[in-house]
Structure 1
Amino acid sequence: MDSDTSGPDEDGLFSFPRLLTVAAGLTFSLILIGIYTAVAGAGLTCEGRWPLCDGWLGLFPANWPSFIEWFHRLIALPTGFLLLGLAVSAWRGGRSKRVRYALTAAVAILPSQIVLGGLTVLEYEVLYLTAHFLTAILIFALVIAATAWSLESRFERPPRLAALAVGALVPPFVVATPFVISIGSMRLHMLYYGVGLLAFSALIALALWVRDGAELDGTERRIAAAAGAGTVVLGLTMLQLRLPASPTEMAQVSGSAALVAVLSLLAVWWTLRFVEMTPADRPL
């Protein structure tokens, strides 16, 4: 199994796993702030200037809407540098290939995300907004994958932990989907995407942790496949809600959320039922 190299500082305040967890939290927050910016229509503030704003010397916001847009950019700066530093640290510190490659891929995507962020201000078109969100989700998935691999050894039964998180988070996401489509209130939008991103993270962790067994049997393959498929469908569901939708397309979004529930709950059921069995006792 491709495992991470552990050093004496793994439990320190600025240890690699902890900093990676902070980076995952910052990326999560950055996406939510970006969603708030888009829903509030704040992307057209700062007088449509990028990377400048509309306040003093063009460096600071002049009002609340422009502050939202400015603050989104402000959080993006340390997040990007932290990811870059972690990628360099992963290569220099002898981390596993999967952690190094995941972080390197996330950093490689960052320049395109910066350009797309600028286009959402200068053009503010659906195409750029959608691409900006899709790229953010991809970077988030890569950071979550690296974090899951780095934290795996710290949990006695990581698949069970991830399954419980999925089981708790997916139902609210599914139930809220039609209300987000029809109501569209700011508070509901933020809560919905917060729960959705957390469920997305838990599904990624479940799929990856289950696959880390020395040899996958039939049950583990089903768990990993269901969790992986649920992750993809959940991400696409959140992406669909960033687009203008007809009644037919709204029904398709609700159907996608229901599919997320089915796949996720199957993965949870398989995990909680079989995770403590020995491979010889598990059905193929």
Structure 2
Amino acid sequence: MTAPSRARYWFQKKNMVNIESDKKLAERLKQARESMGLALENLAILTKIQKKYLTRLESGQYDKLPSGVFVVGFLKRCAKVLNLDANEIIDQYRKERGLSDQKDRQTDGFGGVKSGKILSGNKSVFVITPKIFSAFVALLVFLAIFLFFWHQMKFLIGPPKLILEDPANDFVTLNPSLTLKGLAEIGANLTVNGRRLEVSKEGKFFDYVNLSAGLNLIEIKAANKIYGYVKRRKKRKSQGVVRDGKRASRAVRRRDDYEIG
């Protein structure tokens, strides 16, 4: 038997301490402890309650204690060690705090209340216990991990984004080169006519393409590892972007063609 266990057994064998019931609860607890010759440190060991909470109990600072369900548990443990009537102590605590009797309470191994509700008058007040708080935090962590992986899988298994902003349709140019601008999925493997092109952190790409006189084919392809690729071509009838080598003014109608593989 350990020293704290022997001390607990010795104190439980003593007669019930006669403390006047007309005193405040804080005074009764302090007087009972002092009459048994117990220091706060010893009482903390015997009740397994932190010394700071015992100090607040004996000074009536209930607002600085954990929620009411824990205070009831503290009082039951103190009453057991100090040879006081636990029911009387708890009733006095409720009267001083203006609380009604609790019904259908579940107790933990030390006699503390495990229920998440306290009845005050005719109203039910929900109390966040450590178990409820831990479950809530665990749920938030699970949701955050789920959303992260869902976003990653959505990127990997879906077709990569590919939007060509420039050049526009019905495009004819006299210049020997063409400016390409557009949007693509960040991290996608982007190529223009088979040449690798980097996508910026904002998901944008920019490139110059040299043109020859006549019909030119521009093929832009974005691919990821799992889904495959999205390919976009600029066409006039069959394919291409036209550079007018004769400097004649003419309109060239084209349609955009997508291929997904």
Specify the TM-score bucket, using the shorter chain as the normaliser: under 0.3
Higher strand share: 2
TM-score (norm 2): 0.25
Higher relative contact order (CA 8 A, sep 6+): 1
TM-score (norm 1): 0.24
Higher helix share: 1
